[in-house]
Amino acid sequence: MDLYFLGTGAGMPSKQRNVTSIALNLLDERGTYWLFDCGEGTQQQILHSPVKLGRTEKIFITHLHGDHVYGLPGLLTSRSYLGGDTPLTLYGPKGLKAFVETALEVSGAHLTYTLHIVELTDEGVIFEDESFLVETARLEHRIECFGYRIVEKDQPGKLLNEKLKELGVPPGPLFGKLKQGLTIQLEDGRTLNGEDFLGAPVPGRVVVVLGDTRYCEGAKKLARGADVLVHEATFAMDKQELAYAFDHATSTDAARTAQEAGANALIMTHLSSRYQGDSVTELLHEAQHIHANSYLAKDFWCFDIPRKV
């Protein structure tokens, strides 16, 4: 599992940063990618990345400002051209369905796959299966905006092979059943419960991706105990009043959120184009003063999220 940043700029693209889009690589976990936001030019960014559009399963939109959604119509149609034939689900605020369907209709687009659009009307769990859960909460921005908390469920512990060998259990199908936590009966009549032969469960990972927001309780709620928090940092601390006026966050706001929520790593993105070259390190230093494990994202940068041991 890793995060791949396709665009890390705010408002409009610059020569150094495209507008917002992030890919969560779940190839090892479920053979797919999940995208978060899809600003203009996202499909072009994908061409220069390891992300496979045809294997994208879900797209989560935080809000409907153009720098987060204007890349959707082109990306959805290109997915057809690239052999994407599996269903795709979009999640986002009310209005997403009208935006997408209107763009596809007036352009005469034809999709070769089933497109599901889920408009969010409330906070809470929006997706859950046997391996993942996705929860959302409202943030504080000029228009309705959501953040997403992706929770990987705990994995079963390793099978204690040596313990089984000591009991004379032969490797093979019986090991597989015990690994599933099932109860088996040996030829000599002994009964073994698989739960007794599994190590401690492997904790799942938690990734939180926020949309545009100023410092708020909704962000901290989602970020509690996260392995990784992705938070906007449009401005440096000396632009605090400007950030607040436009419902954006500073690098200090992002770091406060991570620190108070107990998040392990903070990744800052959605950076104003006023920060170029060496000046961008100002944002990083401000955040690290509060939350030491802080990073600045850049386009085509990958952040690995290892399993907990």
Q: Which positions ≥6 away from 169 have C-beta within 8 Å?
A: 175, 178, 186, 192
Q: Residue 185 — φ and ψ, nearest 5°?
A: -120, 130
Q: Is 110 annotated as a binding residue?
A: no
The angle formed by the CA atoms of residues 61, 64 and 66, to the nearest 5 degrees, is 110
The catalytically annotated residue of 37, 67, 227, 299 is 67
Compute CA 297 distance to the chain's CA centroid, rounded to the nearest angstrom: 14
Compute CA 106 distance to the chain's CA centroid, rounded to the nearest angstrom: 31
Q: Is 67 annotated as a binding residue?
A: yes
Q: Is 289 annotated as a binding residue?
A: no
Q: Is 196 annotated as a binding residue?
A: no
Q: Is 291 annotated as a binding residue?
A: no
Q: Is 116 annotated as a binding residue?
A: no
Active site (annotated) includes residue 299 = no
Q: Is 63 annotated as a binding residue?
A: yes
Q: Which residues are annotated as a binding site for Zn(2+)?
A: 63, 65, 67-68, 141, 212, 270
**Residues with active-site annotation:** 67
Q: Which residues are annotated as a binding site?
A: 63, 65, 67-68, 141, 212, 270
